[in-house]
C-alpha cells in the first residue's frame, strides 16, 4: 500500500527546517562577526599596533625606534588592504632606508595577507547575514521580531563568551606557545612561518606581541559579548 506525499505535506516541514537553519546561522554569525571584527580592527589600525608595541616593549627588545616600527606597520597594513605585491617593508637602519624582510619573510607575509583578507570577507558575510536576517524578521513578524532577535543574539553572545574562555583555559593548560603553533599548522600549508629570532619580522612582531594581540582581541570580544547579553536580556524581559 503506497502513500503519496503532497507538496502541501512537505512544505510545512521544509519551512520549519529553513527557519531552524536560518536561526542557527544567525547565532553562528554573531560569534563569527564579533571575533572577525576585532581581528580586523586589531590588524588594520595603527592605534592597535601602537598599543601592542608599547605593552610588549618591542622598541627596547628589537632596538628599532617606535617611529620606524609604526612606519613598518603602516606599510604592512597598506599591503594587506591592497593587491600590491610583493611586500616591501622599508625602515631606517643605521641612518639608511632599507628593505628589511628576506624572501622567506615576504613569502610568509603573502600567506598572512591571504588569511587576513579571507577573515575580512567572512566578517562582511556574517555582518551582512545578521542585517538581512534582522530586516527579514522585522518585515514578517513586526513587533515580535525584536524579542526573537534579542533571544538569538543572547545565545550567540553566550557562545562567543564561552569560546573565548575555552581558548583562554586551553592556553593555560597547553601554554599559549602550543596554541600558537597549532593555529599556524591549521592556517598555513607550509613552514614559512618558522623563522629565526634574529629576522626583522620576528624582531618587530615577537611572540609576546601576538600573545598580547590575542589577549586584546579576546578581551574585546568578551566585553562586546557581555554587552550584547545584557541588552538582549533586557529586551527579552521588557513587556510588550
What one-character-per-residue DSSP string does 178-205 give? HHHHHHHHHH-SSSTT---TTSHHHHHS
Looking at per-residue pLDDT, the higher value among 2 and 54 belongs to 54
Q: With 80 as the cut, is the pLDDT of residue 226 above it?
A: yes
* Nearest C-alpha neighbor of 138 from the set 149, 151, 125: 149
The stretch 89-95 carries a mean pLDDT of 94
pLDDT at 177: 86
The stretch 61-70 carries a mean pLDDT of 97
Instruction: Domain ranges for the chain, please list them.
Output: 27-237
pLDDT at 1: 43
Instruction: Indicate the range of 21-35, 85-99, 164-178, 217-231 predicted with least confidence.
Output: 164-178
pLDDT band at residue 80 using 50, 70 and 90 as cut-offs: very high
The stretch 59-84 carries a mean pLDDT of 97
Amino acid at each position: 500500500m503506497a502513500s503519496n506525499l503532497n507538496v502541501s505535506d512537505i512544505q510545512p516541514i521544509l519551512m520549519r527546517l529553513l527557519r531552524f537553519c536560518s536561526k542557527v546561522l544567525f547565532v553562528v554569525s554573531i560569534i563569527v562577526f564579533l571575533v572577525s571584527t576585532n581581528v580586523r580592527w586589531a590588524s588594520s589600525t595603527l592605534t592597535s599596533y601602537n598599543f601592542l608595541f608599547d605593552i610588549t616593549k618591542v622598541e627596547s627588545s628589537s632596538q628599532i625606534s617606535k617611529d620606524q616600527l609604526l612606519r613598518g606597520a603602516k606599510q604592512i597594513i597598506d599591503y594587506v588592504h591592497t593587491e600590491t605585491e610583493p611586500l616591501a617593508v622599508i625602515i631606517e637602519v643605521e641612518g639608511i632606508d632599507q628593505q628589511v624582510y628576506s624572501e622567506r619573510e615576504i613569502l610568509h607575509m603573502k600567506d598572512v595577507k591571504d588569511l587576513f583578507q579571507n577573515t575580512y570577507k567572512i566578517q562582511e558575510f556574517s555582518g551582512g547575514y545578521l542585517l538581512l536576517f534582522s530586516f527579514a524578521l522585522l518585515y514578517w513578524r513586526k513587533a515580535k521580531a525584536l524579542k526573537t532577535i534579542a533571544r538569538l543574539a543572547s545565545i550567540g553572545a553566550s557562545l562567543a563568551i564561552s569560546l573565548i574562555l575555552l581558548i583562554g583555559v586551553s592556553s593555560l593548560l597547553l601554554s599559549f606557545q602550543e596554541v600558537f603553533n597549532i593555529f599556524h599548522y591549521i592556517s598555513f600549508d607550509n613552514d614559512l612561518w618558522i623563522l629565526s629570532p634574529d629576522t626583522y619580522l620576528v624582531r618587530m612582531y615577537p611572540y609576546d606581541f601576538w600573545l598580547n594581540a590575542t589577549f586584546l582581541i579576546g578581551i574585546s570580544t568578551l566585553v562586546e559579548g557581555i554587552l550584547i547579553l545584557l541588552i538582549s536580556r533586557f529586551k527579552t524581559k521588557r513587556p510588550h
